[in-house]
Chains A and B, each alone.
Chain A
Amino acid sequence: MSESEKKSELNRRQFLGNMLKTACGVGLVGLGLGAYSNRASSMPANYVRPPGALPEEDFLGACIRCGLCVRDCPYDILFLGEVGDEVATGTPYFIARTGPCEMCEDIPCVVACPTNALDHDLKDIEESRMGLAVVIDQESCIAFHGLRCEVCFNVCPIRGRAISLDMQHNTRSGKHALFIPVVHSDACTGCGLCERACILEEAAIKIFPMHLAKGELGKHYRLGWKEKDKAGESLVTPDTEHRYNLPEGVRYDLQGEGLIIEGEAEETPFSSNPLDTLNSGFMDK
């Protein structure tokens, strides 16, 4: 081997060695970055993405962290994740309790997004699903104590549909109703106005990401009565007609009304309206 060949051999070795070193170093950086990205892509439950945000995994690939949505939000509710935050650096979010989405009709944050990380197909803000409101604490919500509040129901921009009031019997007093707020996922956008408005020290109604807020019925599960409606008849043995051994003129309704005595209404001397009785003048007698 000549001197120059030896030299080039050495150079080649050095070159390959250096390259290997660099590749290993960068590879390690890559492993670290990959591991960090897994950690960084988990978001705290109370951080909400702006309207139209793609599912989190896709969102992190699409959002280029430019902050244009932050700038175009007329209510200045959006923040960008900082280093050290538990949200991917530079990505937008809001916190419903302190600054909920006001549900602008023209959705300026979505319009501003240059990459479709906020989906431009979203034209109707009521179609957005930023999360889902959940009445998370029935022990503190004063509606469950029988007190009238209904603030969440009243501030809801889709009033009556996203949150409805479910009247239940107040067993404590025995004579009042409970006005229970119930959230409906087919209408709730997760804007968070209810969470901000909740009068408690710590809100009893909170916005959660869909995957935390929703349960899911097993795919194999069938609800018998729905299947029956669909088929028009019972899918197993046909319904047997219930027979009761009752006197003539008396029926029994299994689903609700109970014992029905036919012709009973005519037989009673009293009208169904108590005022009729009072006005009949029998009190004067």
Chain B
Amino acid sequence: MVDMTTLGDDAIAAKGWFKSHKFLILRRLSQLGILALFLTGPWFGLWIVKGNLASSLTLDFLPLTDPYVLLQAMLSGVVPETAAIIGVVIVLLFYMLVGGRVYCSWVCPVNMVTDLAAWLRRKLGIRTTSQISRTTRYWMLTLTLILPLVVTGGIVWELVNPVSMMFRGIVFSMGAAWIMIAGIFLFDLLVAKDGWCGHICPVGAFYNLVGSKSLLKVNALQRQACNDCMECYVVCPEPQVIKPALKGEKKGLSPVILSSDCTNCGRCIDICAKDVFSYGGRHAIKIDEYKREDEINRGVRV
């Protein structure tokens, strides 16, 4: 069992505080930076990006549109404008390359809320578990795609979607949306670890499918160095993705974390004192093999 009071101490001792929080800091900068780009307009009259995550226009030139919400709109019978189509193609290509759930860990504002809940869970030692399956999100995704077909209310999911609600709340006006966000926070804190993002959220499920063949991946190329401290499992929001890559050497499994559940958040890279993990390409195994060959050639013993 990992001691929560000393979680991360080894990494700090080995790499220093800054290096062992590098990707966490970068992610917060990314999430807050994106919000800031949308906020300079309404706050200071400096219009960089207009709109919100559903659809936006950057510098009156670059359109970006969320493929998930546009898909729902199209299912309820809409033919989008050219700008929306261009926007969707750009967004899809980006996430197909860097990994769909990069949206979850580097863009989505709810991630900051659920990360805080997860951090508090660890600090307070809350160990509740729920029966909710991680596949629930796909059921939810299916539901949100069926509803526009059968209900007159159009894009039904957008009435309650906490992801768009929070972002729109910050950029436009919050209203009672904070109740929803507080609800997710309490759910993640008290009911289930990573309950919302890891189990229920259909937005994440959609992007998961978008990035199922993405090129950018986290790998455990240095898995021989693993000292079984288990801290990566503790901080990972989708810990089931780690094991095949980290412990699958004997079974001949790739050291690349291939599951598209992985959000490419890089917490495992930060927390590991032994630098087992790193970002790399989907086919990083080849580099690994070259390295092994090289090591064998040089007579290094593993």
On A, residues with C-beta under 8 Å from B are 18-19, 21-23, 25-27, 29-30, 33-34, 36-38, 40-41, 57-68, 70-72, 79-80, 82-85, 88-90, 112-117, 120
Contacts and interface: CB of A to CB of B under 8 A. Distances in A.
A40 B153 contact: yes
Contacts of A22: 132-133, 135-136, 139
Given A26-B139, A61-B73, A71 B158 contact: no
A85 B179 CA distance: 14
B262 interface: no
A60 to B, nearest CB: 3
Nearest to B70: A64
Contacts of B55: 64, 66, 68, 114-115
A37 B151 contact: yes
Given A61-B154, A67-B52, A68-B57, A83 B143 contact: no
B178 to A, nearest CB: 9
Contact of B133 (A18, A67, A116): A18
A25 B51 CA distance: 34
Nearest to A27: B143
A74 to B, nearest CB: 13
B39 to A, nearest CB: 12
Nearest to A57: B152
Given A66-B55, A116-B79, A60 B164 contact: no
Given A60-B154, A71-B41, A83-B177, A115 B78 contact: yes
Given A83-B179, A90-B158, A64 B151 contact: no
A41 B154 contact: yes
Interface stretch (B21-29, B97-105, B165-173, B242-250): B165-173
A71 B171 CA distance: 11
B164 A65 contact: yes
B70 to A, nearest CB: 6
B157 interface: yes
B2 interface: no
Interface in B85-141: 87, 131-133, 135-136, 139-140
B3 interface: no
A68 B135 CA distance: 34
A236 B173 CA distance: 65
Given A26-B143, A114-B80, A62 B154 contact: yes
A169 B248 CA distance: 95
B250 to A, nearest CB: 22
Contacts of A85: 175
B239 interface: no
A60 B73 CA distance: 9
A25 B136 contact: yes
Residue among A18, A30, A63, A79 with the highest chain B CB neighbour number at 10 A: A30
Given A62-B76, A64-B66, A83-B180, 16 more contacts: A26-B136, A26-B139, A26-B142, A33-B147, A40-B159, A58-B77, A60-B154, A61-B154, A63-B154, A64-B69, A82-B173, A83-B165, A83-B176, A84-B175, A88-B153, A115-B84
